[in-house]
Amino acid sequence: MAAALSHAEAWSGDNVMAHLNQASATIDCQSLDAPLNTLAYADQQVRREWEQQLHNPAATAQEKTDLQNRWTIVDADNLKALKDIIRTCGWPTSKAASHSAWLLSQHADRDIAFQKQARDLLEASVKAGTGAARDLAYLADRIAVAEDRPQEYGTQFTLSDECHMQMSPIDSLEKANARRHAIGLPSVEEYEAEGRRHFIAASCPAQVN
Query: What pLDDT digit, counting tens, does each position of 94-115 carry?
Result: 999 999 999 999 999 999 999 9
The SS3 assignment for 164 reads strand
In a domain, residue 21? The reply is no
In a domain, residue 156? The reply is yes
Task: Return the exposure string of 78-116: e unless at least 16 CB atoms fall within 10 Å of the residue's CB, then b.
Answer: bbebbbebbeebebbeeeebbbbbbbbbbbbeeeeeebb
pLDDT digits (tens, 9 = 90+) for 136-179: 999 999 999 999 999 999 999 987 777 788 889 999 999 999 99
pTM summary value: 0.81
The SS3 assignment for 198 reads helix
In a domain, residue 17? The reply is no
In a domain, residue 94? The reply is yes
21 band by pLDDT with thresholds 50, 70 and 90: low
Count of structural domains within the chain:
1
In a domain, residue 2? The reply is no
In a domain, residue 53? The reply is yes
Domain, as residue range, for 82: 29-199
Distance CA 204, CA 209 (A): 11
In a domain, residue 204? The reply is no
